[in-house]
Amino acid sequence: MKQKIAVVGVGKLGLCFALNLEKVGFEVWGIECKTNYSNQLKQKDFESDEPFVNEMLCAATSLVIEDDIACVQKENIKDIFLMVATPSLPDGGYDHSQIERVTDRLIALGKSDNVRNIYVGCTTMPGYCAQLSNKLGAYGYTVSYNPEFIAQGSIIRDQQFPDQVLIGEFSQEVGDRLESIYRSFVKSNAAFCRMDPLSAEITKLATNCFLTTKISFANSIGDLAKTAGADVDSILKAIGADSRIGSKYLNYGFGFGGPCFPRDNRALGKYANSVGYPLRISEATDMVNEEHFQFQFQHYLENTSSAELVVFDGVAYKAGTTQITESQQLRLAVALAKAGRKVVIKDSAGVIDQVSKLHPELFKFETAVEAAG
Ligand SMILES: NC(=O)c1ccc[n+]([C@@H]2O[C@H](COP(=O)([O-])OP(=O)(O)OC[C@H]3O[C@@H](n4cnc5c(N)ncnc54)[C@H](O)[C@@H]3O)[C@@H](O)[C@H]2O)c1
């Protein structure tokens, strides 16, 4: 008999995770509250932009889609991954209300007859999992933290080939169980980083803070080099050749954006303030990203005329995705168009569709031919 696993919230992250588990032999119960979407998943007529998802969904024979988490008790499911969204709040923290709705429902179902393990895959504010653990312990649930280090556009592969698997474990026994689930589908020689939930929550945000810092550093040195008349690429290539530093994320280009980097960096800063240790590096990284944007804007203004076309070859926050959340490329295109430049955006139909709805008048569009995948 197949081991059953529940994935609550089968959105961008959860669906990929559910499919990776299903592929290696688990019976996966995907719990999804959006009725139209869950019907599409049940009928397998959902089309995802993520590589491999459509094929894996069609091939999945052990993926059951449900709308109520009550199935974890009826089906006696011991392992429950929470992958609902945690949007950012205006103050930089995370809104945990989708998690609360799931856990309130578990509480309403009454004390579980068997101990069940909840693994929180959502990005949370440090300390949140401990609160959840206190709330749910009396109802027979353990709470561990287990975030994913993935990028949109490569979620399935990133889950199969991670550098690290971060486990903020409730106990050693629960951590062992979670590690063995991962070992069944991870194909890389990943480091299993096991620690308490609070440390894991800080690690998740700090990893992204480090990357935003590295990107901002590269852009600052690049802006300095340009101002001084030096060769940006040679400088960064030489710095990145130092094995203590490395060349990844050390290119001169647009500032950091997307659905994770900016918000994780800000959330870490907010958390640090809340415990009385203001984290200057998170604030500085954000400021540098803004200064770099202004530098690029001025550079384009000074080096283009209102008669010529400025072409943006891609305005998603990262090539290969259709995500425009906090895209610095798009922000620059908008600023230049509003400053009177003629801006052409070349991108996939998915991106152009979003941008043309947001800014129907600002740009000329050219649909780029998508690379064969
Ligand atoms: N997408 C990414 O690139 C990424 C990367 C790293 C971390 N994360 C984190 O993963 C989490 C999920 O992100 P996502 O991008 O997959 O979000 P998403 O919005 O795409 O998916 C969340 C899903 O949960 C469903 N849901 C909400 N409440 C529910 C409930 N009570 N019961 C059942 N289903 C419910 C929603 O309908 C939705 O389909 C977030 O905390 C995010 O920060 C996401």
Same domain, 181 and 79: yes
Confidence at residue 361, expressed as pLDDT on a 0 to 100 scale = 92
Q: How many residues does the chain have?
A: 373
Same domain, 172 and 24: yes
Angle value at C-alpha 361, between 357 and 364, nearest 5 degrees: 95
Residue 10 Cα to ligand 1 middle (Å): 7
The residue out of 136, 161, 195 marking a domain boundary is: 195
Ligand 1 contact via 286 beta carbon (within 6 Å):
no
Ligand 1 contact via 8 beta carbon (within 6 Å):
yes
Same domain, 149 and 237: no
* Ligand 1 closest atom vs CA 258: 3
Ligand 1 contact via 71 beta carbon (within 6 Å):
no
Same domain, 335 and 273: no
Q: What is the 3-state secondary structure (H, E, C) of 290-328?
A: HHHHHHHHHHHHHHCCCCCEEEEECCCCCCCCCCCCCCH
Residue 219 Cα to ligand 1 middle (Å): 31
Residue 79 Cα to ligand 1 middle (Å): 18
Same domain, 143 and 16: yes
**Residue with CA at minimum distance from ligand 1 atom 36:** 9
Residue 123 Cα to ligand 1 middle (Å): 9
Residue 332 Cα to ligand 1 middle (Å): 28
Parent domain of 370: 304-373
Ranges of residues in the chain with a pLDDT under 50 are 371-373
C-alpha 233/C-alpha 239 separation (Å) is 10
Mark 93-123 as b/e (b = at least 16 C-beta within 10 Å). Answer: bbebebbeebbeebeeeeebeeebbbbbbbb
Confidence at residue 27, expressed as pLDDT on a 0 to 100 scale = 98
Confidence at residue 368, expressed as pLDDT on a 0 to 100 scale = 82
Residue 282 Cα to ligand 1 middle (Å): 25
Confidence at residue 370, expressed as pLDDT on a 0 to 100 scale = 59
Same domain, 37 and 119: yes
**Residue with CA at minimum distance from ligand 1 atom 41:** 122
Same domain, 209 and 184: no
Q: Give 167's strand partners.
A: 194
**Residue with CA at minimum distance from ligand 1 atom 43:** 123
Same domain, 127 and 230: no
Number of domains in the chain: 3
